[in-house]
Structure 1
């Protein structure tokens, strides 16, 4: 476990940090909005809809080189529909696949859809538990960790949750979530929506120290292999590690109020706000939008963001979904999704540094 030194941004978990973390863990079970379109890969014929998102066989796996400039690039599929966007990565599980996994920084732990678990006959690894979703609950079952990889990069075997996710399936639709528990072990990752790639610096590292929080920016540098060229802007994050879960929170200002903690959620195809935030005067559109969450689907009302910003970065006003974040207790006010992030072209989530770096527009 990393020791705290004077001036270091890594701190031991406080009671409030734990509350933030647990709220985030629930929030990732709330909204993966708009993923129903991802299972079809956009418009096309019925035969197109049955084609694998990532055709072919699993590639040979090799341990990435270590070093300051080392980087492995994984080719993604970025799916867009209107304002919504999401990135899918090729993941092989127990030598089968590749399956499409949502690159989901908002998932505090990675997850397999129940169909994948049944298809591969993966063994359970403990009792199930009930988790909260958007106006519903669903069952989560721990699955014994098989060998797995993303692109050609091997991943450490671990226990992975098995959850029923509407719209998910096997080769022709998303089959799981690649969450911040895995992504954070690389220290930083570059998600390039424009060129449809995920850059990982060197091999996967060990899990971060337990029960710690990084209040960015820390003294840790972004690895040069995933750094963005100028111009770019750095936004501080709060990165919380508790047990085997990781959560990243971004500071948002809305209507000259804030900052409000939003979960940095690449796995949400559209951004959302907790209904409690309507108290600052967010205008209702009078319309509802169908969203899919873990375990359920629902229609969520829409609101106008009005003037808003990510750190010092001014964002274009847009429509947001209004969806409750169970357990947030007012500490988490929304999800910052890929609809906003893909507009930068590329972003770097630097977990160890406690920063989000966005490309200049």
Structure 2
């Protein structure tokens, strides 16, 4: 007999967000274009899927939506931008007062009033502990009440009442299957880590070509030399201070702390790519958030941002970087409605590889590709013209 025929309702395991019925015509989102409305829903889904409580890093927002849509969302008041300066650091990821990230975050309008809000790990543990304590006290009270009944009263109870009591207990148990049970606290009382289910490791790249190229320069630094180059792009000022023999002890200590924070960001990113989640680590939380208690959420947000790609050195790294830049550019063009031809990907990859081989920096290439994306261009010849105009 199926679950539907028995009258049982299966709970949908997929996540969901809340959208009001007047989303298409209210005063805030009604004037937006259909593409902008779809981008706004994508941002809400990103916040719900990654449990950011309505916060999106500016770097991530730039990857998800183009500039014209970002301007439309800002004008409509669908989000609020928080600039990151030395006086007012955003505190998102590895941003601190001493070394602000310079980009900031955007806060989705009224996200916490309508969408699901995820508690801090400390509050979640306290809620689970209180639920377990209340469940234990209720069970002990029922046990004492059953023990205090006279034995003669129990003996005089007819068999019919016993059967009725048994049926009521069965009914109560079956009715409580759909509700949320009391959270057990046995693992915390025994100071043992909770059981961890095995998760499938995410692959780098989408197809066999991407896998072969990404093996030369993976997202997570595979060697110590690549790790040093990623650290140099994450914290260039700290690396320069530590390399200066004239720097004082205070500046060296601050630079070392900043370098440790960047090193912890790489480890958090590696853990997120491997498992899709981050366990609570007080030491790493203090590195990422030395001024507050919500280091877990900020470390999670920082781990979701891709690491900066180090400058290519070997031919394999040059080839892999060229493939990534061409792939990301054409995928973004396709997401925004463009239809580049089939040979465009290989032509753009070969052009980027040739430009990298001639000494053009990857930062210049990324800036020109971003401007080409805003204009909807994907031709390799246009990229060479732009680079020649910049280098002239």
Q: Calculate the TM-score normalised by the size of structure 2.
A: 0.20
Q: Calculate the TM-score normalised by the size of structure 1.
A: 0.21
Higher strand share: 1
